[in-house]
Chains A and B, each alone.
Chain A
Amino acid sequence: MPTLVSVFERPDDVASVVRKLKGRGFDGIDTYSPAPFEEIEKAVDPKPSIVRLFTLIGGLAGVFTGFFIQIWMSLDWPVKIAGKPFASIPPYVIIGFELTILFGGLLTFIGMLVAGGLYPRFKLDSTYSTRFSAEEFGVVVTCKDRDVAEVDNLLRSGSAKEVTLVDA
Chain B
Amino acid sequence: MTPPPPATAVADMAPPAAPPADSRINLDILSPTRSVTAPYFMLLALAVLGVVQAAAVLAYQTYVGLGVAGYQAPIFWGVYIITFVFWIGIGHAGTLISAILFLFRAKWRNAINRGAEAMTVFAVLTAALFPLIHIGRLWKFYFLIPYPNQRGLWVNFKSPLLWDVFAVNTYMTISIVFFYVGLIPDIAIARDRSTGLKKVVFSILALGWQGSSRQWKAHSRTVLHLSGLATPLVLSVHSVVSWDFAMSIIPGWHATIFAPYFVAGAIFGGFAMVLTVMIPVRRIFGLENYIHHYHFENMARFLLFTSWIVGYAYGIEYFIAWYSGVEPEQTSFWLRAFGPYRYSTWIMIFCNVIAPQVLWIRKLRLHVPTLFVLSVIINIGMWFERYVIIITSLSRDFVPAAWGIYTPSPVELSVLVGSFCWFSMFFLLFIKVFPIIAITEVKELAIHEKAHGEAH
What residues make up the interface of A, taking CB atoms closer than 8 Å to B? Answer: 4, 10-12, 30-38, 40-41, 44-45, 49, 51-52, 55, 59, 69-70, 73-74, 76-77, 79, 81, 84, 88, 91-92, 94-95, 97-99, 101-102, 104-106, 108-109, 111-122, 124-125, 128, 130-136, 148-150, 152-153, 156-157, 159, 162-165
Q: Tell me the smallest distance from the CB of A12 to a CB of chain B, in Å.
A: 6
Cβ contact of B13, chosen from A12, A37, A44, A163, cutoff 8 A: A163
Whether B23 and A34, one on each chain, are in contact in the complex, defined by CB atoms closer than 8 angstroms, is yes
Whether A35 and B441, one on each chain, are in contact in the complex, defined by CB atoms closer than 8 angstroms, is yes
Q: Which residues of B contact A164 (CB under 8 A)?
A: 13, 15
Cβ contact of B222, chosen from A30, A31, A111, cutoff 8 A: A111
Number of A-B contacts (CB under 8 A): 226
Whether A152 and B177, one on each chain, are in contact in the complex, defined by CB atoms closer than 8 angstroms, is no
Q: Which residues of A contact B10 (CB under 8 A)?
A: 4, 148-149, 152, 163, 165
User: CA of A99 to CA of B169 in the docked complex: distance in angstroms?
Assistant: 10
B37 part of interface (Cβ distance < 8 Å): no
Q: Which residues of B contact A150 (CB under 8 A)?
A: 7
Q: Which residues of A contact B26 (CB under 8 A)?
A: 133-134
Cβ contact of B211, chosen from A32, A84, A106, cutoff 8 A: A32
Whether A33 and B22, one on each chain, are in contact in the complex, defined by CB atoms closer than 8 angstroms, is no
Q: Tell me the smallest distance from the CB of A123 to a CB of chain B, in Å.
A: 9
Chain A, Cβ-Cβ closest to B451: A10
B1-44 contact mask (Cβ, 8 Å, vs A): 1 or 0: 10011011111010110011011011000000000000000000
Whether B221 and A112, one on each chain, are in contact in the complex, defined by CB atoms closer than 8 angstroms, is yes
Whether B226 and A105, one on each chain, are in contact in the complex, defined by CB atoms closer than 8 angstroms, is yes
Whether B20 and A134, one on each chain, are in contact in the complex, defined by CB atoms closer than 8 angstroms, is yes
Q: Which residues of A contact B441 (CB under 8 A)?
A: 35
Whether A135 and B13, one on each chain, are in contact in the complex, defined by CB atoms closer than 8 angstroms, is no
Whether B7 and A37, one on each chain, are in contact in the complex, defined by CB atoms closer than 8 angstroms, is no
Provide 17 A-B residue pairs closer than 8 Å at the C-beta atoms, listed in order of the A residue.
Answer: A37-B447, A44-B213, A49-B218, A51-B218, A69-B146, A81-B156, A98-B166, A111-B221, A112-B181, A112-B221, A113-B207, A118-B208, A118-B209, A119-B207, A135-B25, A150-B7, A152-B10
**CB under 8 Å from chain A, chain B span 169-227:** 169-170, 173-174, 177-178, 181, 184, 188-189, 192-193, 200, 203-205, 207-222, 225-226
Q: Which residues of B contact A73 (CB under 8 A)?
A: 146, 154-155, 157
Given A51-B218, A105-B229, A36 contacting B207 (CB threshold 8 A): no
Whether A91 and B20, one on each chain, are in contact in the complex, defined by CB atoms closer than 8 angstroms, is no
**Size category of the binding interface on chain B:** 35 or more
Given A33-B211, A35-B444, A51-B218, A79 contacting B192 (CB threshold 8 A): no
Chain B, Cβ-Cβ closest to A2: B10
Cβ contact of B157, chosen from A74, A101, A124, A163, cutoff 8 A: A74
Chain A, Cβ-Cβ closest to B454: A10
B443 part of interface (Cβ distance < 8 Å): yes
Cβ contact of A79, chosen from B8, B156, B170, B451, cutoff 8 A: B156
B274-300 contact mask (Cβ, 8 Å, vs A): 1 or 0: 000000000000000000000000000
Nearest 6 A/B pairs, CB to CB: A149-B7, A116-B218, A115-B218, A35-B444, A112-B222, A118-B207
Whether A45 and B211, one on each chain, are in contact in the complex, defined by CB atoms closer than 8 angstroms, is no
Q: Which residues of A contact B156 (CB under 8 A)?
A: 79, 81
Whether A131 and B152, one on each chain, are in contact in the complex, defined by CB atoms closer than 8 angstroms, is no
Cβ contact of B232, chosen from A4, A69, A101, cutoff 8 A: A101
B456 part of interface (Cβ distance < 8 Å): no
Whether B208 and A119, one on each chain, are in contact in the complex, defined by CB atoms closer than 8 angstroms, is yes
B236 part of interface (Cβ distance < 8 Å): yes
Max count, chain B CB within 10 A of own CB: residue among A10, A98, A119, A130: A98
Q: Which residues of A contact B209 (CB under 8 A)?
A: 118
Taking A32-B211, A98-B236 as known contacts, 5 extra A-B pairs with beta carbons closer than 8 A to each other, sorted by chain A number, are A81-B158, A97-B232, A98-B167, A128-B210, A162-B16
